[in-house]
């Protein structure tokens, strides 16, 4: 074993789930090594433990895994379970950690960020419950990155990750497993595969765009293999190191070809896509896009149609910027509904404690208590199970949902890669005006509340501050402004806009038109465009 002397570096920021940077930064001497050692120093019980390791297949995945194996062995880890060829989707890692009672897992991914040598890479630690490490752990990792002065590596050759089975390196066993098998078996327990099979046999058509990222092998095995969907249902199904140049963020801009297909003349019955690491999903019907916030509400209202949720839900949760469509369903079902900060880790305690069964975020993440990560393919399968039971089109199901609960018009405007100090300036100036804003009327909208979102975890009492600015209006409309924690260039400002429309006659409106007044007011009072020098958002979803 070699002990290498190193110097501290600007590690992961406190509060974020992992380290996400440009590949070239990870290629700098000692950079990845420092972070991996910081994890091993921070996590209790590493010696003699079992860990799960894998990633979304992006550039640098294999190099990073070989290093992690050698460092794990040098740090006394007993057993590492790795996906064949180093591949694992994020939800599959969560599942294997739980199933094999591992101490935790290391996931290599930058999720929806672009890949390739000039793209992004990332690494994060998940705990024994299968979920992203809590802030109490990530804060210790962060402190370690600032003080670290040595790391440990075993001198050994690379392990052949293409072959299933066990290999010893030093005193540590590396077990290479099929990354799909356990995950596929888990989904079979939750959903009625026979019903979904019958749906496909009846001629139901679907397009699943894996965006050349990790869900390809999972979707192909489950949809085309186990459920009998025709070959070709899954497109872009091969995980590529640079995602074939695609930007694996399933939104109207980066998944444009799927949107064009589904909103065009030859649309199949159902369309779906997921992101780089397989934890997000979007779904579309013929001529109908289901906004992720609406999807969470619809899944909550219909989950009982799938065997895994037939006994009903204990409660639901959504991240703060997610639209409040799901709140109305929870009220109708008389179940609890929680509002948490952005990021999946905040759902962990509620799921572990059985307070919620389903949860989701506006950024196309939905999941349940089956694992502790959001799960793209799971959401698609739940949709398929619901469609197989209801035998109605996605568009009809959506329209009926709005008729019953009203429609929450919702949109997110991202200003990517803006100057970091300008972004901070926008936030600080708006915050300084809270008192004077409340009671002010703009056009027909009166501001009734302005605050920085703070969350107290109902289970362990931990407090997360400064989770985004919320401006509420008397009409029930609101907007939210926060700085992204996952961007790797400058800062990304996210502006979330929402209005509620009870009148069925107005449900067919274009979303941006419906939100026009709120968009104009947000522009005016945040001063975002003049401070950042941008005249339009980079992405509207
Ligand atoms: C974004 C999303 C957030 C999500 C996070 C990680 O964070 O908005 O909802 O939990 O990405 O998703 P931010 O801080 O950039 O807004 V993933 O698919 O990267 O694991
Ligand atoms: Co992701």
Q: 11 pLDDT exceeds 70?
A: no
Q: 404 pLDDT exceeds 60?
A: yes
- Ligand 1 centroid, distance to 362 Cα (angstroms): 9
Confidence of residue 29 (pLDDT cuts 50, 70, 90): confident
Q: 15 pLDDT exceeds 60?
A: no
List the catalytic residue out of 17, 49, 109, 111: 111
Confidence of residue 526 (pLDDT cuts 50, 70, 90): very high
* Ligand that lies nearest to the alpha carbon of residue 20, given by its number in the listed order: 1
CATH code for the domain defined by 407-540:
3.30.310.50
Which part of the chain is CATH 3.40.120.10?
2-179, 183-405
**What mean pLDDT is reported for the chain?**
95
Average pLDDT of the segment spanning 426-455: 95
111 lines ligand 1 (CB under 6 A): yes
Q: Is 365 left (phi over 0), alpha (psi -120 to 50) or beta?
A: beta
- Ligand 2 centroid, distance to 510 Cα (angstroms): 28
Tell me if residue 111 is catalytic: yes
344 lines ligand 1 (CB under 6 A): yes
3-state SS of 51-114? EEEEECCCCCHHHHHHHHHHHHHHCCCCEEEEEEEEECCHHHHHHHHHHCCCCEEEEECCCCCC
Closest atom, ligand 1, to C-alpha of 344: 10
- Ligand 2 centroid, distance to 432 Cα (angstroms): 34
339-391 pLDDT, tens digit per residue, is: 999 999 899 999 999 999 999 999 999 999 999 999 999 999 999 999 999 99
pLDDT at 346: 93
Is pTM beyond 0.85 here? yes
b/e code 502-530 from CB counts within 10 Å (16+ = b): eeeeebeeebeebbebbbebbeebbebee
From 295, 366, 467, 485, give the residue whose CB has the most ligand 1 atoms within 8 Å, as the site to mutate: 485
Average pLDDT of the segment spanning 151-161: 96
> For residue 100, with 0-12 CB atoms within 10 Å meaning exposed, 13-18 middle and 19 or more buried, which class applies?
middle
Q: Tell me what percent of the residues of the chain surpass a pLDDT of 70.
A: 98
Average pLDDT of the segment spanning 43-70: 97
- Ligand 1 centroid, distance to 192 Cα (angstroms): 30
467-507 pLDDT, tens digit per residue, is: 999 999 999 999 999 999 887 788 999 999 999 998 888 89
375 lines ligand 1 (CB under 6 A): no
373 lines ligand 1 (CB under 6 A): no
Average pLDDT of the segment spanning 275-280: 96
Q: 166 pLDDT exceeds 70?
A: yes
pLDDT at 8: 67
58-109 pLDDT, tens digit per residue, is: 999 999 999 999 999 999 999 999 999 999 999 999 999 999 999 999 999 9
343 lines ligand 1 (CB under 6 A): yes
pLDDT at 214: 97
- Ligand 2 centroid, distance to 376 Cα (angstroms): 9
- Ligand 1 centroid, distance to 57 Cα (angstroms): 19
Q: Which CATH superfamily is domain 183-405 in?
A: Alpha-D-Glucose-1,6-Bisphosphate, subunit A, domain 3 (3.40.120.10)
Residue nearest to ligand 1 atom 20, measured at CA = 111
pLDDT at 531: 95
Closest atom, ligand 1, to C-alpha of 110: 19
pLDDT at 465: 94
Residues sharing a CB contact under 8 Å with residue 192, sequence separation 6 or more, in sequence order: 306, 307, 385, 388, 389
112-142 pLDDT, tens digit per residue, is: 888 999 999 999 999 999 999 988 899 899 9
CB 23 within 8 A of CB 59: yes
Q: Can you tell me the distance from the alpha carbon of 372 to that of 138, in angstroms, rounded to the nearest whole number?
A: 17
355 lines ligand 1 (CB under 6 A): no
* Ligand that lies nearest to the alpha carbon of residue 292, given by its number in the listed order: 1
Average pLDDT of the segment spanning 165-172: 97
347 lines ligand 1 (CB under 6 A): no
CATH fold of 2-179: Alpha-D-Glucose-1,6-Bisphosphate; Chain A, domain 3 (3.40.120)
Question: Can you state the percent helix, strand and coil of the chain, rounding each to 5?
Answer: 35, 25, 40
Residue nearest to ligand 1 atom 1, measured at CA = 486
More confident residue, 328 or 488: 328
pLDDT at 247: 87
486 lines ligand 1 (CB under 6 A): yes
Q: Are strands 288-290 and 281-285 parallel, antiparallel or unpaired?
A: antiparallel
Average pLDDT of the segment spanning 237-246: 92
pLDDT at 2: 74
Confidence of residue 14 (pLDDT cuts 50, 70, 90): low
């Amino acid at each position: 074993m070699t002990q290498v002397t190193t110097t501290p570096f600007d590690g992961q920021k406190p509060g974020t789930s992992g380290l996400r940077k440009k590949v070239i930064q990870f290629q700098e001497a000692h950079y990845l090594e420092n972070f991996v050692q910081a994890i091993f120093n921070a996590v209790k019980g590493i010696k003699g433990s079992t860990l799960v390791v894998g990633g979304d297949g992006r550039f640098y995945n294999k190099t990073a895994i070989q290093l992690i194996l050698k460092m794990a062995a040098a740090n006394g880890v007993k057993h590492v379970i790795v996906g064949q060829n180093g591949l694992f989707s994020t939800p599959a890692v969560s599942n294997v950690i739980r199933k094999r009672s591992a101490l935790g897992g290391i996931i290599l991914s930058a999720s929806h960020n672009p890949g390739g040598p000039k793209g992004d890479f990332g690494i994060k630690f998940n705990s024994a419950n299968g979920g992203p490490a809590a802030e109490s752990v990530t804060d210790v990792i962060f402190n370690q990155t600032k003080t670290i002065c040595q790391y440990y590596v075993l001198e050994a050759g690379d392990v052949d990750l293409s072959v299933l089975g066990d290999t010893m390196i030093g005193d540590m066993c590396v077990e290479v497993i099929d990354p799909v098998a356990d995950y596929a078996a888990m989904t079979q327990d939750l959903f009625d595969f026979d019903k979904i099979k019958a749906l496909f046999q009846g001629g139901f058509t679907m397009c699943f765009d894996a965006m050349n990222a990790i869900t390809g092998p999972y979707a192909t095995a489950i949809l085309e293999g186990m459920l009998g969907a025709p070959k070709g249902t899954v497109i872009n199904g091969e995980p590529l190191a640079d995602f074939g140049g695609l930007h694996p963020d399933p939104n109207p801009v980066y998944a444009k070809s799927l949107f064009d297909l589904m909103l065009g003349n030859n649309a199949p019955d159902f369309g779906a896509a997921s992101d780089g690491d397989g934890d997000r999903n979007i779904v579309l019907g013929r001529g109908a896009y289901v906004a992720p916030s609406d999807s969470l509400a619809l899944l909550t209202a219909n989950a009982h149609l799938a065997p895994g949720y037939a006994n009903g839900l204990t409660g639901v949760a959504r991240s703060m910027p997610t639209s409040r469509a799901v709140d109305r369903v929870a009220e109708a079902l008389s179940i609890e509904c929680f509002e948490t900060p952005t990021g999946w880790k905040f759902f962990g305690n509620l799921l572990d404690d059985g307070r919620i069964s389903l949860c989701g975020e506006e950024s196309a993440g939905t999941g349940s208590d089956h694992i502790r990560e959001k799960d793209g393919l799971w959401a698609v399968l739940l949709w398929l199970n619901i469609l197989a039971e209801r035998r109605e089109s996605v568009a009809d199901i959506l329209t009926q949902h709005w008729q019953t609960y009203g429609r929450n018009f919702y949109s997110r405007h991202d200003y990517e890669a803006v100057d970091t100090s300008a972004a901070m300036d926008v936030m600080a100036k708006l915050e300084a005006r809270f008192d004077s804003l409340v009671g002010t009327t703009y056009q027909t909208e009166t501001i009734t509340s302005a605050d920085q979102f703070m969350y107290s975890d109902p289970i362990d009492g931990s407090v997360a501050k400064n989770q985004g600015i919320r401006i509420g209006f008397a009409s029930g409309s609101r907007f939210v402004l926060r700085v992204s924690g996952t961007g790797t260039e400058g800062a990304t400002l996210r502006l979330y806009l929402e209005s509620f429309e009870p009148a069925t006659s107005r449900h067919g409106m274009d979303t941006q038109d419906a939100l026009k007044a709120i968009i104009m007011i947000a522009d005016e009072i945040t001063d975002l465009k003049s401070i950042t020098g941008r005249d339009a958002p980079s992405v509207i979803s």
